Amino acid sequence: MKDTRPLAKTEQIATHLQVSPRTMDDWASRGVGPPFIRVQGQRRYSWQAVERWVEERTQVPAGAAS
């Protein structure tokens, strides 16, 4: 199923992740944050890509059953 949600702005993703837009800027400059594309010089994020990025970083506590 194709994701039809509009691309998100940095501020929207920062709010979603509960970090500051400044943190998003830092992550982008270091290449460690969610993947993004440039649209007219502005970063835009696919919600699907951000959700995948979060899932890839989700950690299971030691000793927890899988």
Q: pTM of the prediction? A: 0.84
The structural domains of the chain, with segments of one domain joined by +, span: 8-57
* Strand-pair category, 37-39 with 8-9: unpaired
**Are the C-beta atoms of residues 34 and 49 closer than 8 Å to each other?**
yes
Residues 1-53: tens digit of each pLDDT: 788 999 999 999 999 999 999 999 999 999 999 999 999 999 999 999 999 99
